[in-house]
Amino acid sequence: MQEYLNKIIEDNKKYIEYGALPEYIPELVKANKDALGMSVVSLDGKEYHAGDYQYKFTIQSISKVISLLLALEEKGEEYVFNRVGMEPTGDPFNSMIKLETVRPSKPFNPMINAGAIAISSMIEGRSSMGKVEKLLAFFRQITDNPDLTINENVYLSEKRTGDRNRALAYFMKDVGVIEKDVEGSLDVYFKQCSIEVTTRDIARIGAFLANNGVDLITGKSLVREKYIKIAKTFMFTCGMYNASGEFAINVGIPAKSGVGGGILATVPGQMGIGIVGPSLDEKGNSIAGVQMIRDFSEKYKLSIL
């Protein structure tokens, strides 16, 4: 596998030039557009890495998977899904059209920005800082990386430029989806998106999901299996923004992307996959990363379909 990972990096570097960095978050424009890396973590503990796998990037929307799991554990399915739906939208991840035009007025799913902000508002804690510390501790446990931290510059950049997210949040406050302090909920969301990771970190998250919520090191179940199945279903149907259907057909495994260039993928019962490639396509997905994971899935026949 190591030899193939090295090959897959080299074969797909050519796609980088056709993508772009996300200019609407100024700090992300400082990323290395040419970075490309991949990690694979199997359930028996084996790890494989290639390319710029040590390159640090912010997790962005990949964090939505973990915040959903935490909210489900704390609040339960009924509470969560009374406020956030279960359906794909086909709209851009930051759209607010359906919030205004569809009744009841709630986000279609937890993988779009509106849904993720609503989920962040559900996490229990006396302060936004307490909620962030709880989320960060959960990430550190799942990734087996006690050094995970928040990139302060990216957080501040997102906070300064996040007016569309504020509009979504205040609209949801008006219609009762968000019950708590809007600015505090947004702060949790901006900070969780700004957690700095490597491909190894997100591959370990993928392996945790592949192992049905059981920690690979301790053997302890951290999340109920039914909630893991819910998260993986959302990843499969909504995880690659409004390219999710095409990805499901071409790759066939649950995945979640982020505009930091990361892609988290999980192969149930087998492995977790982490990819970074900051050069994005028009949908917001890593342009070379999508090609890499497509090639990888075809090579090892990973599609669950």
Annotated active-site positions, please?
61, 64, 189, 241, 259
| Structure tokens that stand for 242 in this block | 């409004």
Element holding 42 (H helix, E strand): strand 37-42
| Structure tokens that stand for 90 in this block | 């086909």
CA angle at 92 for the pair 89 and 95, rounded to the nearest 5°: 85
With b meaning 16 or more CB within 10 Å and e meaning fewer, what string describes 180-219? eebebbbbbbbbbbbbbbbbbbbbbbbbbbbbbbbbbeee
Q: Is the dihedral of CA 285, 203, 194, 74 positive or negative?
A: positive
Question: Side chain identity at 121, as an amino acid letter?
Answer: S
